[in-house]
Every structure is written in structure tokens, then in C-alpha cells.
Amino acid sequence: GAVVSQHPSWVICKSGTSVKIECRSLDFQATTMFWYRQFPKQSLMLMATSNEGSKATYEQGVEKDKFLINHASLTLSTLTVTSAHPEDSSFYICSAADSGNTIYFGEGSWLTVV
């Protein structure tokens, strides 16, 4: 079946550095992908919509210069957390829908900033 894959599953980085998370649709093409963030013991919050070939759309309160999104192909979106700080430590999850509007979530990526 259709799968959305994220990489890496977990990453630890030093404060002030940047880290990139990839989201791939393995069995289908996705012109749109979505990035969510989940802090411990909280719900998922949509951060941004990744649009293939155009700029991402960010939710209110999400800094577009801090969370850079690139959707360079129909199967890959990347989220780069720039100048990461400990408060950016979170679980990041991407999603994409196939042509039948079935939504698939990636396995998630744990980010710890030390």
C-alpha cells in the first residue's frame, strides 16, 4: 500500500545549528504535503503546507524563516529547522494524500536540540 516515509527517525543537534527532515511519498505523487508538530503529551498542530514547485503556506504563528520548507519534487518535501533551539525539540510528522484523497502519515521524526 501507499507509504509516506520520513528520515531521520530521530536526530539530536546542538543549539544554533540547522537540521533537515525529509518526507517522501513512496508509492504516489503528492503535489501537497503537510508538516505537523507535536510537543510531548500534546496534540498535533499543523505548521505548514508544502506545495510542489511553489512556496509553502505557513500557519499563523509559525516562523517561515525558521522552518524552511522545500518541495522540489512530487515525492519529496523537506523541513529544515534553522538555528535550532531547545524549544524546537519536538516530534515532527508529515502527511500526504494520494489521488483518492486517502491521507497517509509518516513515521515521524524526533528532534532534540541540546
Partner 1 sequence: ELKVEQNPLFLSMQEGKNYTIYCNYSTTSDRLYWYRQDPGKSLESLFVLLSNGAVKQEGRLMASLDTKARLSTLHITAAVHDLSATYFCAVDRPNFGNEKLTFGTGTRLTIIP
Q: Which residues bind partner 1 (CB under 8 A)?
A: 32, 34, 36, 41-46, 49, 93, 95-97, 101, 103, 105-108, 110
Least distance to partner 1, CB of residue 20, Å: 19
- Residue whose CB is less far from partner 1, 27 or 107: 107
CA pair distance 35, 92, nearest whole angstrom: 7
Q: Residue 40, SS3?
A: coil
CA pair distance 93, 81, nearest whole angstrom: 13
Q: Order of strands, edge to edge, in the sheet holding 19-25?
A: 4-7, 19-25, 76-81, 67-73
Least distance to partner 1, CB of residue 58, Å: 13
Least distance to partner 1, CB of residue 16, Å: 26
- Residue whose CB is less far from partner 1, 51 or 82: 51
